[in-house]
Amino acid sequence: MSDVPGRDPEAVSKFVESFAAQLVEAGMQRMAARVFAALLSSDSGVLTSAELGEQLQISPAAVSGAVRYLAQTHMVSREREPGSRRERYRVHGDQWYEALTNREAVMKRWEGALRDGVSSLGAETPAGRRMAETLAFFEFIEGEVATMMERWRVHRERLFGQD
């Protein structure tokens, strides 16, 4: 980060911390937010644990925990450095798409639980109606997200070309 000509390391650090703070405010774990922002702001989109630790002044254990969370949420991927046992972590250009579309499985599970709730509570009870409305909301959102993501793929290709 610091050896890129024309780039102010202090400005980059301020961006990383500012964007991470926004992600934390939205519900992301603090260390994961910092690691994600650092990866996102690197030109290559790839950093090793040591590079992340040095840039963010955090321990290898903190990097490991953050990366575990980010990998589980499909926001980064792990890969081995060729010819080395060291791992490096990559953020992809489509990480938001991946993270959002991978929520589909979670929403499907919620929908199943809500259907069970409507059935258990009774569709005509106040709680059953509230549960049915929540289920209808998730079903609606699921359809809208699928349509929106298809529009995004077309829009992204128009803006950035194919990968």
pLDDT at 108: 87
Instruction: Give the side-chain half-sphere CA count within 13 A for 108.
Output: 5
Q: Residue 163's pLDDT band (boundaries 50, 70, 90)?
A: low
Spatial CA neighbour of 65 closest among 27, 28, 22, 13: 28
What's the pLDDT tens digit per position in 30-52? 999 999 999 999 999 999 999 99
Q: Is pLDDT above 50 for 15?
A: yes
What's the pLDDT tens digit per position in 59-101? 999 999 999 999 988 889 999 877 888 889 999 877 777 777 6
